[in-house]
Amino acid sequence: MYLEEYNPQHKEVVNNYYLTEEMNYYTSHPKDCLLKSAENKSFHSVLAFSDQALVTFLVLDEGKDKMLYTSNKNAMLLRSFSTDSRFLKKGHAKEALRLLSEFIQQNYPHIEEIVLAVNMKNTSAQNLYLKTGFIDKGTRVQGPIGELMVMTKLI
């Protein structure tokens, strides 16, 4: 597996990315994220490929929204993390998160921390983040569809 920042050559594979209805409840489809990235230069869309297939997608956000969850100006907010539903339960999400710290160190050397907020009802995502080194800060915030758990990982 490898991580790569989005470029226009990836448009077709992103358009074919599939999320179930339940997954769409908790996260945004990559196509929607790319539209937002085009307007917001602090959004960096990152794709995880395994055997040339796009299996996982995420956004790294350097903008001010991270300050809702951390006081560290050298943090990035992990947003819209998902795995194409055709590739679930194969370890791709875990591997992508494992590779993320190194990817950030190489591409954004000033970043010291990854922060995220996960819906309290999304226990499978919480467990995944805990298994990959994220820590529950004990902070809870209200999100658009319910309470969120703030998690962090130092790089």
Residue 51 host element (H or E): none
Query: 13 pLDDT band (50/70/90 cuts)?
Result: very high
- What is the reported pTM? 0.91
Q: What is the pLDDT of residue 27?
A: 79
Residue 90 carries which side chain, given as an amino acid letter? K
Domain ranges of the chain: 2-154
Q: Could you tell me the two tokens for 111?
A: 């970043």
Q: What is the pLDDT of residue 35?
A: 79
What are the φ/ψ torsions at residue 64 (nearest 5 degrees)?
A: -75, -15
**Proportion of the chain above pLDDT 70, given as a percent:** 99
Residue 113 contacts residue 70 (beta carbons within 8 Å): yes
**Residue 106 pLDDT > 80:** yes
Residue 112 carries which side chain, given as an amino acid letter? E
Query: 25 pLDDT band (50/70/90 cuts)?
Result: low
Q: What does CATH list as the number for 2-154?
A: 3.40.630.30
Single out the residue of 21, 33, 25, 18 nearest to residue 122, CA to CA. 25
Q: Could you tell me the two tokens for 135?
A: 């820590």
Query: 29 pLDDT band (50/70/90 cuts)?
Result: confident
**Does residue 27 or residue 8 have the better pLDDT?**
8
